[in-house]
Amino acid sequence: MTRQMQIIVICVMAAALAGLLSLRTLHRRVRQLAPARTTEEQERREVIAPPISTPTDVTTSAQLFWISPAATDQLAPVTVQLPLSADPAQRAKQLINELIANPPTPAQRTLPPGATLLDFYLLPNGQAVADFSDELSTEMPSGILSEWLAVSSIVDTLGVNVPQISELKILVHGHEIETLSGHIDMSDFFDVRPPAPAPALPITK
Amino acid sequence: MLPPQQPAETLRTVVIDPGHGGGDTGARGPSGVEEKDVVMDFARVVGDSLRAQGFTVVMTRIADVDPSLDDRATVANAQKDAIFISLHVGSVGPLGTMRTYTYLYPSAVAPADIPIAGTGAVGGPNARAQVSVPANFVPWREAQKPFLGQSRKLGDLIQLELSQKFKGSPEISWSAPVAVLRSVEAPAVAVEISSVALDPQKLQDLGGDLADAIARAVQAYKSIYPPGGQ
């Protein structure tokens, strides 16, 4: 092999090596893009539903209803310290966001983690409307019990902490839905009132 | 709008509603088991038990199709002297337990002692202005209202039987706004088993006990089945 050929072969091999190395870097960069996308998704959610704070926020003891750790077919109140607004609609938003974001354990969760509260309206007569993203319905475990616990966790939490609300309608992207995920009737307003001082029903064997 | 039901003589027909079907799979278990198939199997064995007792059985679907909720109610409302039982398998809840649900109207017309499923709370009278309708007609979406008391009795009888077969089940029926019950102009309940997470074979094996319990309860209910609603 001539000296010239040797130089050419070495150059080609060096180029191939450099190519391989840059391919690895490229691959790593592509892989890094994936988590970046989730961050973007989180950012998008934060833009849609930023943590709500108002000048009247005061850290308050609130009772939030999640699935009872003792009986998985019932709800139980959990006392949480939360900065809550004096404005009832803002307060309702803060409470629902907390219900979605921070159940004490995953097993106590009532609402899908991907669900976002898009808006909340309260009329002077006590009628309220909560508008959620699609995930409230699409990511909801299907079933009479699971869907009714989800609705009840919202209704009971608002009933205890926002006395101005008397009825609640739940929408998905501004539209009425027939059922939450195949079972529970969502076409009406739900009664919102402080739960009666706990009777020991239903009885479970 | 529906014409009012003529006073009932005796209970003859049981309408069985296997939930979901077709593209609507209902709840799905980790093993790939789908609610629509399980409830279809249940409906067949429950239907056989009821026929053996002398009842006429009408199904809201007999194939893998998905009638709308209104279509299912229409099947029930075309029957005279009938009751309606909707069958479901849930995604959550203590495994192997059964619950019977009756409809809960949002502004409750329910008696004050009716426990509301999952909440520990009870419904109470909460009068609300009614839409004015001709005296002889019942609004489609309110068809279940006059039958709430009867649905409750039927639900309690079924649940009592279920609680003896399925440990951990409540002893009385619960109230929840189960959409398919709303427009049924007859005593109507939904039964849900927990859950699709069970082993598919175990789930299927529950069908026999479920059918026994429902057949016994319906037979008991027949003896108190009254003329006309309430």
Q: Which residues of B23-56 are buried (b: 16+ CB within 10 A; e: fewer)?
A: eebbbbbeeebbbbbbbbebbbbbbebbeeeebe
Instruction: Say if residue A90 is in the same domain as residue A184.
Output: yes
Instruction: Say if residue A109 is in the same domain as residue A177.
Output: yes
Contact B203, B195 (CB under 8 A): no
Kindly tell me if the per-residue pLDDT of A105 is higher than 70: yes
Identify the H or E element spanning A117. strand A117-122
Instruction: Say if residue A95 is in the same domain as residue A134.
Output: yes
Contact B159, B169 (CB under 8 A): yes
Percentage of chain B lying above the pLDDT 70 cut: 82
Omega before residue B195 within 30° of 0, cis: yes
Is B156 contained in some domain?
A: yes
Kindly report the CATH number assigned to the domain that includes residue B92.
3.40.630.40
Is the ipTM value over 0.95, yes or no? no
Other Cβ atoms within 10 Å of B173 Cβ, number: 28
* Nearest-by-Cβ selection for B27 from A74, A142, A187: A142
| Rounded alpha-carbon distances, angstroms, from residue A1 to A6, A8, A10, A92 | 7, 11, 12, 82
Instruction: Say if residue A73 is in the same domain as residue A121.
Output: yes
Instruction: Say if residue A87 is in the same domain as residue A15.
Output: no
d(CA A76, CA A65): 5
| Rounded alpha-carbon distances, angstroms, from residue A150 to A75, A155, B59, B66 | 9, 9, 30, 25
Is A203 contained in some domain?
A: no
Instruction: Say if residue A66 is in the same domain as residue A101.
Output: yes
Is A201 contained in some domain?
A: no
Question: Which pLDDT belongs to residue B108?
Answer: 45
- DSSP assignment string, A134-190: THHHHTSPPSHHHHHHHHHHHHHHHHHH-TT--EEEEEETTB--SBSSSSBB-SSPE
Q: Among B152, B146, B150, B160, which Cα is nearest to B113's?
A: B152
- Give the residue-averaged pLDDT of A150-155: 97
Question: Which pLDDT belongs to residue A182?
Answer: 92
Q: B120 to chain A: which residues are within 8 Å by CB?
A: 74-75, 195, 198-202
Instruction: Say if residue A32 is in the same domain as residue A112.
Output: no
Q: What angle do CA A136, B70, B37 make, to 5 degrees?
A: 70
Is A142 contained in some domain?
A: yes
Instruction: Say if residue A97 is in the same domain as residue A66.
Output: yes
**pTM check: above 0.90:** no
Domain count, chain A: 2
| Rounded alpha-carbon distances, angstroms, from residue A162 to A155, A166, B106, B126, B154 | 10, 9, 19, 20, 37
Q: Among B206, B129, B217, which Cα is nearest to B173's?
A: B217
Is B7 contained in some domain?
A: no
Instruction: Say if residue A64 is in the same domain as residue A39.
Output: no
Question: Which pLDDT belongs to residue B128?
Answer: 42
Instruction: Say if residue A23 is in the same domain as residue A97.
Output: no
Q: B195 to chain A: which residues are within 8 Å by CB?
A: 143
List, for chain B, all residue ranges whose pLDDT scores fall below the cut of 50. 108-114, 120, 122-130, 229-230
Question: Which pLDDT belongs to residue A94?
Answer: 96
pLDDT digit string, tens, across residues A50-97:
677 888 889 999 999 999 999 889 999 999 999 999 999 999 999 999
Is A196 contained in some domain?
A: no
Instruction: Say if residue A13 is in the same domain as residue A94.
Output: no
Contact B177 A75 (CB under 8 A): no
Contact B59, B16 (CB under 8 A): yes
Is A171 contained in some domain?
A: yes
Question: Using CB atoms and an 8 Å cut-off, which of residues 140-169 of chain B contact chain A?
Answer: 141, 163, 167-169
3-class DSSP state for residue B18?
strand
Shortest CA distance from A200: residue in chain B: B120
Residue-number span of the structural domain to which A41 is assigned: 1-48
Is B2 contained in some domain?
A: no
Secondary structure of A17-68 in HEC code, one letter for each residue: HHHHHHHHHHHHHHHHHHHHHHHHHHHHHHHHCCCCCCCCCEEEEEEEEEEC
Helix residue ranges, H only, B118-199: 148-165
Question: Which pLDDT belongs to residue A46?
Answer: 62
d(CA B13, CA B51): 10
Contact A161, A91 (CB under 8 A): yes
Is A79 contained in some domain?
A: yes
Is A198 contained in some domain?
A: no
Is A200 contained in some domain?
A: no
Interchain contact B176–A (C-beta under 8 A): yes
* Residue ending a domain, choose from A48, A68, A86: A48
Is B22 contained in some domain?
A: yes
Instruction: Say if residue A43 is in the same domain as residue A64.
Output: no
Percentage of chain A lying above the pLDDT 70 cut: 85
Is B72 contained in some domain?
A: yes
Kindly tell me if the per-residue pLDDT of A152 is higher than 60: yes
Is B131 contained in some domain?
A: no
Residue-number span of the structural domain to which B181 is assigned: 13-125+138-224
Is B5 contained in some domain?
A: no
Domain count, chain B: 1
Is B4 contained in some domain?
A: no
